[in-house]
Amino acid sequence: MFEENDCYTGPEVCTALIDRAERGLGYRLPRRYVEVLRRRNGGVLRKRCYPTEFSTSWASDHFCVEVLLGIGGEWGIDSPSGMGSACLIREWGYPDIGVVVFMTPSAGHDAVMLDYSGCGPLGEPVVAYVDEDRVPRRVADSFSGFLDGLVLCERFAGDD
């Protein structure tokens, strides 16, 4: 799932770290997200492209994610640094629908978020892509579904 380097990887995940992150964010994190973080707390992904049925600022049929953000540490979604979800939402004007969990190569022009607007802070969020227009577009019914939908970007080589 992850590249070999450990850039953007946070501290080892334990129950206390998860509880602290959820309290600070105000959202219960999806179970699959927590399971992934227990194996590796964020990092650079191998499969980075997500096919879409709509055009994005990337291409006519997909967008790219680069890093799954973990919890705790400088790169955590709960971090008070400029990399935390709340900071990214404020800085880039993303809709206040949940939590930014993927960093994209565009460095702020688009984002992938856990969208809690339909389920509330304790529910199972859908995954939304937010492009430059700041309109959230549902791309997966769950975090698990999003991960399962990621493909190698070579699939799109020569497109656009």
Which CATH number goes with the domain that contains 49? 3.40.1580
- Tokens representing residue 133 in the block: 């227009």
pLDDT of residue 48: 96
Q: Tell me how many domains the chain contains.
A: 1
Q: What are the C-alpha distances in Å from 81 to residues 37, 74, 77?
A: 20, 6, 9
Average pLDDT over residues 36-42: 97
pLDDT tens digits along 48-79:
999 999 999 889 999 999 999 999 998 899 99
Residue 107 has pLDDT above 80, yes or no: no
Would you call 136 helix, strand, or coil by DSSP? strand
146 in a structural domain? yes
63 in a structural domain? yes
47 in a structural domain? yes
On average, the pLDDT of the chain sits at 94
Q: In this structure, are residues 41 and 79 in contact, taking their beta carbons and an 8 Å threshold?
A: no
pLDDT tens digits along 119-135:
999 999 999 999 999 99
143 in a structural domain? yes
Give dist(CA 44, CA 1) in Å, integer: 9
Residue 84 has pLDDT above 90, yes or no: yes
Residue 5 banded pLDDT, cuts 50, 70, 90 = confident
5 in a structural domain? no
The secondary structure of residue 29, as a DSSP letter, is P
111 is in which domain, residue-wise?
A: 15-154
Residue 111 banded pLDDT, cuts 50, 70, 90 = very high
The pTM of the full predicted model, rounded to 2 decimals, is 0.94
Residue 81 has pLDDT above 90, yes or no: no
9 in a structural domain? no
Among 45, 39, 32, which residue's Cα sits nearest to residue 103? 45
Residue 160 has pLDDT above 80, yes or no: no
Residue 100 banded pLDDT, cuts 50, 70, 90 = very high
Would you call 112 helix, strand, or coil by DSSP? strand
10 in a structural domain? no
pLDDT of residue 83: 82
Residue 159 banded pLDDT, cuts 50, 70, 90 = low
